Amino acid sequence: MTVSWENNYFAVRLGVIGARRYEKVSYPLYYGEYGVIETASDLLHFNREHEIIRAQGKGESWPHRNEWLKRSLGDDWLYYSTGGYTGVFETLGEFYLPNLPYPTNNLLGGHPLRDQAVRRVIDGWPRQVAACLEQAEEAPEAVKIFLRTCLAKTPEKLAAKSVAIFANYGGRPSVLPPDARHVDYQLIPVNIASGCLYKCRFCEVKNRTPFRAALASEVSRQMVGVKELVGADLANYGAVFLGDHDALAAGGELILATLGEAYELFQLKDSLMYSSSAFFFASVASLSAAGDDFFARLARLPYDIYINIGLESADQETLHYLGKPLAAREVEETFARMQALNDRYPKLELTANFVFDDDLPTGHYPAFLKLVRDSLPRRKVKGSVYLSPLKFDQPSRLKTFDFNRLKRESRLPVFLYLIQRL
């Protein structure tokens, strides 16, 4: 039930229902159910647990009226900027650029999180809520309870909750699949395997932990734990991330069982979001080991499923340069199988990552174009390719030029891999 109340100092709206389907639009679109506190200087959004999730400043000091802050499940504040809309969409596949509080692959540059008006909102929202509570003597009891509860969810408690979520998962996920952009990275993390099969020399986001698949009992306990931690806000989630860096290597049976259990335990059928999605990473080796029967069963689950694979290069000299223990032939065969699976299953999408840098061996880009252009008879809208610069946070004109050239020549959608964590 929606409750609205206001006085001369502030306004409150409770039980607001936003968009229930993730859309790619060039204006602010907020998802799920949330509560709103609005003052002369700020607009604050709180989730079903009364935890702050979005914020926006008002007035001339705020960088742009269509830009806002979002706090992630991992307690990071992200600033969503327009970046001119068109350039962002061509680069990321989304109309908004999430500016992150840590180094990442960002050709578009900019540091809005350092802006004084933005910092005022991030640091000052508890004072705003406290001031509203002081002015709420005549407000309905439901409004007062809402304000008190929001104020009780202090930055310290929110940080502690994120630490508890990471502990339940088995550590902080250092990177999410780039396809998670399709649900604005709003997903429930479930770790079914630690470590990765390859320990590539170039990689900055994966760990050195030996690969180990989790036991089914461990995964079940973890899912119960994350459900309790997310609490009433679970209804705002429609997506699951199976971690960590190569979930497919954990085996088809564990994946199928986990996704089935997650659908029931997280009540995804009753989510406020209209569709359910699942995201996980794979590797050349784990895809090769997965039989066709697994993908047929996977495609029958009530999810849109995205599997992201780090191919990096189809050039042997570049693979050696990167320290990736693969033969170029294996990369080519994996790419071909990914295309076949994408063509066969409408609700399954396999995407690929390739490195992108100024100093790669000369054979890298010709080998890349041989795959994404020459091996395909026509353009496709499915099976995105993500380019990841080897050097974080170093935008350059040369990189932008090369990116646009590769994007034009590819017969698959090509985007920048933003490298976003939970």
Q: State the residue for tokens 């986990």.
A: 258
Any bridge partners for residue 145, and if so which? none
Question: Does pLDDT of 10 surpass 70?
Answer: yes
Domain boundaries, the chain: 3-153, 158-416
Question: Does pLDDT of 142 surpass 90?
Answer: yes
- Which pLDDT value is given to residue 1? 72
Burial of 419 (0-12, 13-18, 19+ CB in 10 A): buried
The residue ranking higher by pLDDT, 396 or 154, is 154
Question: Does pLDDT of 101 surpass 70?
Answer: yes
Per DSSP, the residues of 85-111 read: SHHHHHHHSSSSEEE-SS----TT---
Tokens of 59: 């007035």
Sheet of 188-191, strand order = 188-191, 239-243, 277-282, 304-312, 348-356, 385-389, 414-416
Closest by alpha carbon to 50, among 232, 224, 239, 228? 232
Q: How sure is the predictor about 359, in pLDDT bands with cuts at 50, 70 and 90?
A: confident
pLDDT in tens, 39-50: 999 999 999 999
CA 155 – CA 157 distance, rounded (Å) = 5
Question: Does pLDDT of 203 surpass 80?
Answer: no
- Which pLDDT value is given to residue 125? 98
CA 325 – CA 201 distance, rounded (Å) = 10
Q: How sure is the predictor about 107, in pLDDT bands with cuts at 50, 70 and 90?
A: low
Q: SS3 sequence, 284-339? A: HHHHHHCCHHHHHHHHCCCCEEEEEEEEECCCHHHHHHHCCCCCHHHHHHHHHHHH
- Which pLDDT value is given to residue 392? 60
Question: Does pLDDT of 83 surpass 60?
Answer: yes
Q: Do 331 and 320 touch, CB atoms closer than 8 A?
A: no
Closest by alpha carbon to 311, among 352, 281, 340? 352
Cα→Cα distances 184→85, 141, 217, 229, 385, Å: 16, 34, 30, 20, 18
Q: How sure is the predictor about 210, in pLDDT bands with cuts at 50, 70 and 90?
A: confident
The CATH class given to the 158-416 domain equals alpha beta
Question: Does pLDDT of 58 surpass 60?
Answer: yes
Question: Does pLDDT of 384 surpass 80?
Answer: yes
Residue 209 DSSP symbol:
P
CA 13 – CA 37 distance, rounded (Å) = 7
- Which pLDDT value is given to residue 357? 87
- Which pLDDT value is given to residue 198? 67
What is the rounded average pLDDT for all residues in the chain? Answer: 93
Sheet of 10-17, strand order = 3-6, 10-17, 33-39, 42-46, 52-57, 68-71, 77-81, 97-99
State yes or no: cis peptide before 304, omega within 30 of 0: no
- Which pLDDT value is given to residue 136? 97
- Which pLDDT value is given to residue 402? 85
Taking residues 412-418, what's their average pLDDT? Answer: 94
Residue 211 DSSP symbol:
P
Out of 168-182, 280-294, 388-402, least confident range = 388-402
CA 197 – CA 73 distance, rounded (Å) = 27
Question: Does pLDDT of 221 surpass 70?
Answer: yes
Any bridge partners for residue 397, and if so which? none
Q: Do 355 and 312 touch, CB atoms closer than 8 A?
A: yes
Q: State the residue for tokens 């979930």.
A: 247
- Which pLDDT value is given to residue 37? 98
State the pTM of this model. Answer: 0.95
CA 369 – CA 263 distance, rounded (Å) = 39
In the chain, the amino acid numbered 228 is E
Q: Do 264 and 311 touch, CB atoms closer than 8 A?
A: no
Q: How sure is the predictor about 85, in pLDDT bands with cuts at 50, 70 and 90?
A: low
- Which pLDDT value is given to residue 182? 97
pLDDT in tens, 311-320: 999 999 999 9
CA atoms within 13 A on the CB side of 238: 23
- Which pLDDT value is given to residue 401? 74
In the chain, the amino acid numbered 227 is K
Cα→Cα distances 61→29, 58, 118, 299, 349, Å: 22, 7, 9, 49, 42
Tokens of 185: 């990275």
Query: In a 3-state reduction of DSSP, which class is residue 387?
Result: strand
Question: Does pLDDT of 206 surpass 70?
Answer: no
